[in-house]
Structure 1
Amino acid sequence: MSDGKASTTVRTRIREAAAQLTASERKIANAILADYPFTGLESIQELAAKTGVSAPSITRFVSKIGCGGFHDLQRHLIAELKEGRRSPLDLKSTQRPVGQTEFLPEYIARVSSVLQEMTATVSLAQFDILAALLADSSRNIYLLGGRISDNVASFLSIHLRQIRSGIYHMADNPEFWPEHVLRMRKKDVVVLFDFRRYQPSLSRLAETIAEKQGAMIVVVTDKWMSPAARSADHIIALPIDAGTAWDTVAAAIVLAEALIVRVSEADWEATQKRIGDWDGVRFSLPGYDQNKIDGDTNET
């Protein structure tokens, strides 16, 4: 790929070139995207046999998506895999230092840029589909994240529980997962949050759910793609790079907050009743000060 395209993933380049592809080239594109990036790392002969397309057609396809050849395509796919495994120590070596005298304003500017990028990477259609799935009271919703990203899953689940029933934040201990997996129905939805330095256990969980239960899987990840995305029905790729040693979860939190508001307003009458009933039980439990409940202090 040219220098101007170096930071663009192969997945994005394929989608951008979709309108220019021939029928044979679309077969290649679909095969690579279906098991991304691993199919693209097979030999050109294996890819030709898998798609029923000739090696010269693969070479033309590779050229259309901006690569200098099949080996160049694989070099970029390998680079994406490495990028997805970078730790804060790795990122520190390439970070753009934040100004020390005005650290907070500059950092806020960087996060604002990440959020602006989010408007281009998450389509309205993707958001609407996910919001509709979460608002569908006939579906049970299961949420889980990785070592750090589970905080986002927990945040979303806490609010969704107050809006509707059937919300389950899965325990981080895999020993408890079978109970949830065995309860899942095909119409249910599993939302997994997994960002780079991906959690291998989430990939295995997603694969198990897809094979045994068939529940719908949504993976919220980054542009380098969690391995769990291989089993996903829907993928939302969020920007996370703020140019520091630590990736930002700002886009993930904003997505969660937007979903909370959207789902709550899908049927506000039902939401209002649910919150009222919820608080009625919550405030009757030990540990709540009646004066606070009566309005001296707002509780959230």
Structure 2
Amino acid sequence: MGERKPATTIRARIRESSAQLTASERKIANAILADYPFTGLQSIHDLAAKTGVSAPSVTRFVAKIGCGGFQDLQRQLIAELKAGQSSPVDLKYSQTPVGHVEFLSEYVARACAVMQEMVETVPQSQFDVLAELIADPSRNIFLLGGRVTNSIAAFLSIHLRQIRSGIYHMAENPEAWPEHVLSMRKKDVVVLFDFRRYQLTLSQLAHTIAKKRGATIILITDKWISPAARSADHIVALPIDAGTAWDTAAAAMALVEALIVRVSDADWQATQKRIKEWDGVRFSMPGIDQSRINGEGDET
């Protein structure tokens, strides 16, 4: 049960084949990855002209990444686009049912398999870069997610605020975004969460930030890749498919919790000082029973 693996995307296969590509084929690969998957949906002649290579070079490239011709490449890219818009109703028809007798243990096994897949697909070097960016006290960190994933952004922001200053969880209402965007500096970091059934507003926000403010954008998404990737500096593609009607956030939460621990350890003295000062203010708020916090109250 823990060994199930989703089909590999065209993007992943291009990257896996990079060492075997010729100079001309790398031009094609770079063009497709730069505006994925839309460049790959152009005609073969338009793609050849855009990259300055011949149509036969495109054909050889397509074969190297395991496609049975240019039409097969486009068919698979279109399938990825459709998969990225799948709802729980759509996924219900292709799910692998979880046994009802041992439902909890079987589902947990699937979630563990998804988290293990994340370990295998997200490089340690990429995780290190993200942690370093978020831990840098000279950078303000702005966070936002989609309709569902904003709860993950909120979870991360709640913990980061106790570790360091300069953490801003952006309002869900786009009418409030200009205030945040206008305060962003080039050195700041924006962390966006967007999983399938992507939100166009997040893509538009990322484009605006990249164009007008130049802040570093970290996109945490799934293997089908949010359109916000066009404007992102760092893209983390997480597994979310547990074979059920509902995608799992297990990998996303594991990644976020790992970041929280890593960032807090980056300068533990500063983290410890921040938490003590934070609690000092929090516990002085009206309605807080300090005796109960200290374990002195009657718990019965």
Band the TM-score falls in, shorter-chain normalisation? over 0.9
Matched AA of 2:142: Y
- Say whether 1:33 aligns with 2:37: no
What SS does structure 2 have at the residue aligned with 1:295?
Answer: coil
Work out the percentage of aligned pairs sharing the same amino acid: 75
- Say whether 1:119 aligns with 2:145: no
Q: How many angstroms apart in 1 are the aligned matches of 2:206 and 2:41?
A: 22
Matched AA of 2:214: G
The equivalent of 1:286 in structure 2 is 286
Matching of residues 15-54 of structure 1 within 5 Å:
15-54=15-54
- Say whether 1:134 aligns with 2:127: no
What SS does structure 1 have at the residue aligned with 2:221?
Answer: strand
The equivalent of 1:261 in structure 2 is 261
- Displacement of 1:6 in angstroms is 8.6
- Displacement of 1:295 in angstroms is 3.2
1:33-89, Cα deviation, whole Å (9 max, x unpaired): 001101111111111111111111111111100011111111000000000000000
- Say whether 1:232 aligns with 2:211: no
Matching of residues 45-194 of structure 1 within 5 Å:
45-194=45-194
Matched AA of 2:255: L
1:156-208, Cα deviation, whole Å (9 max, x unpaired): 00000000000000000000000000010111000000000111110010011
The equivalent of 2:215 in structure 1 is 215
Q: How many angstroms apart in 1 are the aligned matches of 2:91 and 2:293?
A: 47
Matched AA of 1:290: Q
Q: How many angstroms apart in 2 are the aligned matches of 1:192 and 1:182?
A: 17
In structure 2, do the counterparts of structure 1 residues 48 and 231 end up closer, same or farther at CA, with 3 Å as the change threshold?
same
**Aligned CA-pair RMSD:** 1.1
Q: How many angstroms apart in 1 are the aligned matches of 2:54 and 2:184?
A: 42
The equivalent of 2:7 in structure 1 is 7
Q: How many angstroms apart in 1 are the aligned matches of 2:33 and 2:296?
A: 56
Matched AA of 2:35: D
What SS does structure 2 have at the residue aligned with 1:228?
Answer: helix
Q: How many angstroms apart in 2 are the aligned matches of 1:188 and 1:39?
A: 30
Q: Is the 8 A contact 2:115 2:251 kept in 1?
A: yes
- Displacement of 1:293 in angstroms is 2.6
Q: How many angstroms apart in 1 are the aligned matches of 2:185 and 2:70?
A: 42
Q: How many angstroms apart in 2 are the aligned matches of 1:97 and 1:7?
A: 18
- Displacement of 1:91 in angstroms is 0.5
1:204-258, Cα deviation, whole Å (9 max, x unpaired): 1001111111111010000000011111100001110011110000111111100
Q: How many angstroms apart in 2 are the aligned matches of 1:290 and 1:145?
A: 35
Q: How many angstroms apart in 2 are the aligned matches of 1:94 and 1:24?
A: 39
Structure 2: runs of 5+ lacking an equivalent: none
Q: How many angstroms apart in 2 are the aligned matches of 1:8 and 1:193?
A: 21
What SS does structure 1 have at the residue aligned with 2:295?
Answer: helix
Q: How many angstroms apart in 2 are the aligned matches of 1:295 and 1:32?
A: 60
Q: How many residues align?
A: 293
Q: Is the 8 A contact 2:181 2:209 kept in 1?
A: yes
Normalised TM-score (structure 1): 0.96
- Displacement of 1:292 in angstroms is 2.0
Structure 1: runs of 5+ lacking an equivalent: none
- Displacement of 1:294 in angstroms is 2.0
Q: How many angstroms apart in 1 are the aligned matches of 2:53 and 2:6?
A: 27
Q: Is the 8 A contact 2:6 2:241 kept in 1?
A: no
- Displacement of 1:296 in angstroms is 4.2
The equivalent of 1:248 in structure 2 is 248
What SS does structure 2 have at the residue aligned with 1:114?
Answer: helix
